[in-house]
């Protein structure tokens, strides 16, 4: 088990290195002059030269990548072009709102989606199953920001139950913090719920058709026990896998959700960086989010054993 | 006797491939897939016929008439520059559909080419798949943002950026198909008969990738339309001088509390467009991919 863990952890290094190299090499691979694009339309020749030097574009790719990568390994993601502050510091200041939103959404999504999928599979073909499937197709089709505005319109403007926008840090109290996260979490979580519910239903249908489920029913176990202990536990591996894969949706959605709800997190930082074409920030954000994504999926892989003792590493 | 003759399966015309037949069957059997196909067709007609649908120039500015509520005169109201939102939404369909369809075509073609090569040229496989793993671990929207931040804003660049994020998934799909098809007896037989690799690829492998590619293509189309809207909404997408659904909504962000129709009309159209492609995709998957279709 430990050997496997170490091997898998080591295997993520080339993937993250690949991401780092790609994000870095983009500066060199994109057609045209990125320094000129980043500098904008009203830049002087001196501005463009300054940015070219700051990004290291006046040096060849590989030596430059080497010095950048070793800086990254020392926790230095470079300097923001616009604010001249270290990217690590800018990102560090904004971790809390993003982490709050992502965790809140993740928890809500799993708590809603898994029971939804289980019930849909249990009542397959019935009205409730149809409704769950309808919800899931709709959830895949509504863009997160349209849903966000719809929720704001209904619950913040018309009903006035929840705040329109903003974020309150956790240390100012649990309820104010939570109140600001309810609408963003629902908006962000819907597509994720659709995804998880759909996989849960599909896997549960497979498992419910197994002989041991019929046996469990035949020996008179309560339907709830069969559903939870016999079926859901055996359906867990694909469900957990999709929860891991879906984190990519969550990350992309965080950027949009934060800008609709004016949450001062990493997503907002990214959007501001796009407008100012502050590439070092974009680079840093992508690197960190991708690393998180890879590590989450590593954790998912390692969790299989918990659900299915037959899996040998 | 007549009954018996009727019961015999009708001879399948040679020109029709089984894939096409199965799609027709699926459309007949799944009313939702048919609904999706019809909605999509309607949207395509709307995009093509935009100038004839009672629209005015979607870029015509008229500050006197800015921010008019939806009315008989301005069906979807006017925006902060007095432009007619109905016209902008109708013309916006062109951008969404063009991006969705082009990205789907581009990503499946490139992915197919790379997937076929990696599936057959073994020494390339390791390298290419590591690159694809790397690309796939960057969340799609962020990757597209990075690509666009470094290039001039244009519709072509948006399409290329989104296609780049979709290619790895197609490569994975094709590679796994090729790897399993290579083990099939009919491929063994072709190799034993001395068939050249190129011919095995075109004759035996390629036809078997059509159905899964078609299904994947519809999902890519749906996801590309969403990504384009998200990119435009974030200010990293289609240039503001082209009316796209994402752009209309992006411009309305600060006005949401006074003019929410600026977000809701394009939002409804975008959701319907994505929904129609998704419904079609689900139907196609049911018809063409029996292994996946059973329970989804």
Burial (CB count <10 Å: 0-12, 13-18, 19+), residue B3: exposed
Is the model's pLDDT at B60 over the cut of 80? no
C-alpha to C-alpha distance for B126 and B133, rounded to whole angstroms: 10
C-alpha to C-alpha distance for A33 and A37, rounded to whole angstroms: 6
B97 interface with A at CB cutoff 8 Å: no
CA–CA min distance B55, chain A (Å) = 24
Q: Residues B117-144: what's their mean pLDDT? A: 86
Is B283:B33 a contact under the CB 8 Å cutoff? Answer: yes
Lowest mean pLDDT among A124-128, A140-144, B10-14, B120-124: B10-14
Helix/strand/coil for A271: helix
Question: Where does the pLDDT of residue B1 fall: very low under 50, low under 70, confident under 90, or very high at 90 and above?
Answer: very low
What pLDDT shows up at residue B292?
52
Is the backbone of residue A165 left (phi > 0), alpha (psi -120 to 50) or beta? beta
Is B65:B77 a contact under the CB 8 Å cutoff? Answer: no
Q: Which residues of A touch B279 (CB under 8 A)?
A: 137
B139 interface with A at CB cutoff 8 Å: yes
Burial (CB count <10 Å: 0-12, 13-18, 19+), residue B282: buried
Question: DSSP class of residue A124?
Answer: T
What pLDDT shows up at residue B250?
87
- Per-residue pLDDT of chain A in tens (313 residues, 90 and over written 9): 788 888 888 888 888 888 888 888 887 777 667 777 777 777 788 888 888 887 777 778 788 888 888 888 888 888 888 788 888 999 998 999 999 999 999 999 999 999 999 999 888 888 999 899 889 989 989 999 899 999 988 888 888 888 878 888 888 888 888 888 999 999 999 999 999 999 999 888 888 888 888 888 888 888 888 888 888 888 888 898 889 888 888 888 999 999 889 899 998 898 888 888 788 888 899 999 999 999 998 888 888 878 877 776 6
Taking the model in full, what pTM does it have? 0.85
Is the model's pLDDT at B103 over the cut of 90? yes
Is B209:B120 a contact under the CB 8 Å cutoff? Answer: no
For an interface test with A, the pick among B30, B137, B164, B252 (most A C-beta atoms closer than 10 Å) comes out as B137
Q: Residues with Cβ < 8 Å from A283, sequence gap 6 or more?
A: A23, A24, A77, A78, A87, B146
A98 interface with B at CB cutoff 8 Å: no
Is the backbone of residue B20 left (phi > 0), alpha (psi -120 to 50) or beta? alpha
B158 interface with A at CB cutoff 8 Å: no
Please choose, from the candidates A213, A211, A215, A182, the residue with its C-alpha nearest in 3D space to the C-alpha of residue A118.
A213
B129 interface with A at CB cutoff 8 Å: no
B249 interface with A at CB cutoff 8 Å: yes
For an interface test with A, the pick among B131, B146, B246 (most A C-beta atoms closer than 10 Å) comes out as B146
Which of A18-32, A58-72, B106-120, B138-152 is the most confident on average? B106-120
Give B161 or A4, the one with higher predicted confidence.
B161
Helix/strand/coil for A44: coil
What pLDDT shows up at residue B17?
60
What is the end-to-end Cα distance of chain A in Å, rounded? Answer: 6
CA–CA min distance A274, chain B (Å) = 6
Give B284 or A190, the one with higher predicted confidence.
A190
Written as six digits, the tokens of A80 are 């923001």
Is A17:A291 a contact under the CB 8 Å cutoff? Answer: no
Written as six digits, the tokens of A85 are 């502050």
Distances (CA, A) of A125 to A130, A139, A205, B170, B281: 7, 20, 11, 32, 20
Q: Residues with Cβ < 8 Å from A254, sequence gap 6 or more?
A: A98, A101, A102, A188, A265, A266, A267
Is the backbone of residue A124 left (phi > 0), alpha (psi -120 to 50) or beta? beta
Residue A261's φ and ψ, nearest 5 degrees, are -90, 10
Q: What digits encode the pLDDT tens for the residues B243-269?
A: 889 888 888 887 777 778 888 889 999
CB distance B135–A274 less than 8 Å? no
Nearest CA in chain B to A145: B230
- DSSP bridge pairs for A79: A86
A282 interface with B at CB cutoff 8 Å: yes
Is the model's pLDDT at B8 over the cut of 50? no
Please choose, from the candidates B262, B264, B232, the residue with its C-alpha nearest in 3D space to the C-alpha of residue B79.
B262
CB distance A153–B139 less than 8 Å? no
Q: Residues with Cβ < 8 Å from B252, sequence gap 6 or more?
A: B79, B80, B259, B262, B263
A188 interface with B at CB cutoff 8 Å: no
A164 interface with B at CB cutoff 8 Å: yes
Q: Which residue has the tokens 């600026």?
A: B262
What pLDDT shows up at residue B251?
85
What pLDDT shows up at residue A313?
60
CB distance A15–B267 less than 8 Å? no
Is the model's pLDDT at B83 over the cut of 60? yes
Q: Which residues of B touch A145 (CB under 8 A)?
A: 229-230, 233, 249
In this predicted complex, what is the ipTM?
0.84
Is the model's pLDDT at B273 over the cut of 70? yes
Is A109:A189 a contact under the CB 8 Å cutoff? Answer: yes
CB nearest A290 (choices: B130, B138, B295): B138
Largest CA distance in chain B: 78
What pLDDT shows up at residue A103?
93
CB nearest B150 (choices: A26, A141, A271): A26
User: Which DSSP helix (H) or strand (E) runs through A302?
Assistant: helix A279-307
A19 interface with B at CB cutoff 8 Å: yes
Average per-residue pLDDT for chain A: 86
Is the model's pLDDT at B159 over the cut of 90? yes
CB nearest B295 (choices: A30, A206, A283): A206
Residue A86's φ and ψ, nearest 5 degrees, are -65, 140
Nearest CA in chain B to A205: B295
A251 interface with B at CB cutoff 8 Å: yes
Q: Is the dihedral of CA A36, A42, A48, A51 positive or negative?
A: negative
C-alpha to C-alpha distance for B168 and B47, rounded to whole angstroms: 30
What pLDDT shows up at residue B9?
46
């Amino acid at each position: 088990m430990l050997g496997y863990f170490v091997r898998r952890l080591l295997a993520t290094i080339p993937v993250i290195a690949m991401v780092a190299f790609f994000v870095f090499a983009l500066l060199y691979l994109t057609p045209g002059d990125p320094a000129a694009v980043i500098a904008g339309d009203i830049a002087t020749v001196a501005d463009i030269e300054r940015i070219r030097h700051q990004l290291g574009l006046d040096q060849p790719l590989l030596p430059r990548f080497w010095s950048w990568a070793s800086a990254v390994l020392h926790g230095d993601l470079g300097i923001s072009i616009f604010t001249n502050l270290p990217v690590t510091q800018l990102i560090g200041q904004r971790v809390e709102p993003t982490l709050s939103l992502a965790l809140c959404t993740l928890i809500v999504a799993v708590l809603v989606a898994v029971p939804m999928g289980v019930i849909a599979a249990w009542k397959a073909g019935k009205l409730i199953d149809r409704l769950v499937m309808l919800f899931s197709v709709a959830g895949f089709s509504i863009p997160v920001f349209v849903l966000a505005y719809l929720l704001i319109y209904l619950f913040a403007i018309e009903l006035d139950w929840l705040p329109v926008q903003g974020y309150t840090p956790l240390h100012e109290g649990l309820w104010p913090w939570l109140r600001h996260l309810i609408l963003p979490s629902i908006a962000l979580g819907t597509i994720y719920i659709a995804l998880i519910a759909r996989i849960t239903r599909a896997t549960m249908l497979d498992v419910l058709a197994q002989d041991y489920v019929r046996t469990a029913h035949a020996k008179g176990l309560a339907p709830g026990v069969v559903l939870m202990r016999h079926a859901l536990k055996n359906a867990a591996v694909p469900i957990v896998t999709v929860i891991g894969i879906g984190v990519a949706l969550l990350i992309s959605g965080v950027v949009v959700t934060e800008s609709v709800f004016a949450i001062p997190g990493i997503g907002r930082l990214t959007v501001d960086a796009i407008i100012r074409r502050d590439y070092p920030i974009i680079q840093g954000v992508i690197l960190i989010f991708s690393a998180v994504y890879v590590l989450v999926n590593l954790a998912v892989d390692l969790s299989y054993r918990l659900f299915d003792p037959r899996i040998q590493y | 006797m007549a009954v018996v003759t009727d019961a015999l399966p009708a001879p399948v015309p040679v020109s029709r491939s089984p894939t096409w037949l199965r799609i027709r069957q699926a459309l007949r059997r799944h009313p939702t897939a048919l609904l999706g196909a019809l909605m999509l067709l309607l949207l395509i007609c709307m995009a093509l016929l935009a100038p004839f649908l009672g629209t005015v120039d979607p870029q015509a500015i008229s500050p006197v008439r800015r921010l008019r509520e939806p009315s008989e005169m301005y069906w979807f109201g006017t925006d902060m520059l007095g432009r007619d939102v109905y016209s902008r939404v109708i013309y916006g369909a062109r951008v969404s559909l063009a991006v969705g369809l082009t990205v789907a075509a581009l990503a499946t073609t490139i992915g197919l080419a790379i997937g076929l090569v990696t599936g057959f040229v073994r020494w390339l496989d390791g390298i290419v798949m590591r690159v694809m793993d790397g690309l796939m671990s960057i969340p799609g929207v962020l990757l597209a943002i990075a690509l666009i931040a470094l290039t001039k804003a244009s519709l072509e660049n948006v399409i290329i950026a989104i296609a780049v994020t979709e290619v790895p998934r197609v490569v994975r799909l094709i590679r796994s198909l090729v790897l399993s098809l290579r083990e099939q007896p009919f491929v063994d037989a072709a190799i034993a008969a001395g068939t050249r690799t190129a011919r095995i690829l075109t004759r035996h492998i390629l036809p078997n990738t059509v159905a899964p590619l078609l299904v994947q293509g519809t999902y890519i189309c749906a996801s590309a339309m969403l990504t384009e809207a998200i990119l435009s909404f974030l200010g990293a997408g289609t240039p503001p001088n082209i009316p796209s659904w994402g752009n209309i909504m992006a411009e309305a962000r600060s006005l949401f509390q006074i003019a929410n129709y600026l977000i809701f009309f394009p939002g409804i159209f975008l959701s319907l467009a994505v929904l129609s492609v998704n419904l079609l995709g689900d139907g196609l998957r049911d018809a063409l991919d029996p292994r996946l279709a059973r329970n989804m």
